[in-house]
Structure 1
Amino acid sequence: MPLFKPSTLRLLKEAARIPGYPLLERLHGYVYLRWPYLYIGLGLGTHPMARLLAPLAALATRLYPTRPDAHADPDRVTWADSYHGKALPLDEARRLVTVRRDIEIRDLEKVIPYKRARDLVLQSPGRIVALECPCRSAHETPCLPLDVCLVVGEPFASFVLEHHPGKSRLISPEQAVEILEQEDRRGHVHHAFFKEALLGRFYAICNCCSCCCGAMQAQRNGIPMLCSSGFVAELDAAACAQCGLCAKRCQFQALTFEGGVTRLDPAQCMGCGVCVNACPKGALSLRRDAARGEPLELQKLLAGAG
């Protein structure tokens, strides 16, 4: 019986081709993909072993401070630099799961404003796996359905499929689009996730709700693990029917409905577009905001890379 599964060997070989890629990060990436439910459960404090492994969590915090002001060295990498998500409007999420060719776009500093994990590299992008969300799975009463994490491309898709056969399934790009659209209708946010330990690049689109998502909860607690789409919502008060539906859907508390009046706080908005798609009167729209960084617009990035 072989010591490693074929997908593990492929992941390790891919990591070995990256100059200067640390062994510790290779092991970190393996642990993250191999035991995601333990990994996320420990991070959320919901796993039974969380208390037992608290010393390891403390060590990880020293290695990767969780806040930019947690240390005096501005060049030191924080947790947010090594693991983070980029909010995506539905159309851009669709494009990421329906691209028909391999992609290699490096160092997207203006798009992903972190020190690490800024590469958009897709190999066999049509190979997509729907994985049961580790964040939702960590809760006693999670949002449903569970299998809404989309692992895109190789070597990640094969690794997840081979190591989590009961919690993952291979799907087509069309099925991935259907999941994105269904989650959008539920008011959940599409995030393109990047991780330093996973070859420093994009690996998945997660469909996130603030009640379950560890990254969204960290964001609320001052740990900047998510970045804006590059857009911000605008409200046309004259067109608004004051139904309050957008406020119910907003995961970032940017929209509120009190006293029969809808209010928008642009400072809280991440530009995900969920409210735009939910509004029955078309009173909400997205506009570009240069102060929030560049959007992850696949067609423009490909045109620039070409």
Structure 2
Amino acid sequence: MDLHYSLEQLLAFQYVAESLSFKKAAERLHLTPTALSHRIKKLENQLNLKLFERKTRKIELTAEGEFLFKHVQTGFEHIQKALLQLNQNQQRLFTITTTPPYASEWLIPYLPELQALYPDVMFRVHASYDPVNMQSGQYDLAIRYGQGGYQELDVELLAEDQYVAVSHPSIESENIDWNRVPLIHFSWGDEYCPKRINWQKWYSQQNMQIHVGQRQVFYNEENHAIRAVLAGQGIALLSKVAIAHYLQMGMLKVVSKHYVEALNYYLLSSLKQDEVIVGTKKWCREKLEGTYKVI
């Protein structure tokens, strides 16, 4: 007998055996008594056994029926307990998509705090500069760097940003020779940002220009540029949001009053929000306000 084709019949058998009534069992299964009777008959044919004694006013289990009922009932009880346990232990997957700098500087170091707030939630961080489709259902929360204007989403301004010239604290600002100081670039601003935030723009706004032969190095990730400045390799034009912690701790310092206006960070979610989305957004705002607004 192939059990795969008999689960419906076995469940029907259990319900009839429990109530000893085709009518009551049919009601529980939302079947007609005739349809239920066909299932029982099919099971008996598969087993080549008689499971019920059908009498005028009642039905009784045969000896084979009693034996099968004991094992079927135990089997379905085990299955039900397993399903209940799986449901109770099931963790929700909550995906946050954000830019690589925000992920590395604001999410990853503090993610245990967020996990402690929601121990039944499994968090996933997706880092990318690319636009994402929030209607796809793949992401619960997006933290994006842009100009706003997002459609059919719940949109909250998280922070306004500026790009500032930053160095290792050992460099004395007043002694910087802007014709000779090593410049650290990263290409994200040119590739994705319509405002084209880069050293060329910073110099041009002050009627200056990068000197021929001035030492320069180029990275394709802002995180790499941050690491280079921390290592004392030169000066970089960096997002004030991305480096807020380093500025507060004195590991980096701003070496010029001139800054370049940048884009803004936004919290994006679907219009229908649950308590985890609302709470995670609140946590993101509090983490940022605790550091960024005091530097």
TM bucket by the smaller chain? under 0.3
- TM-score w.r.t. the length of structure 1 is 0.20
- TM-score w.r.t. the length of structure 2 is 0.21
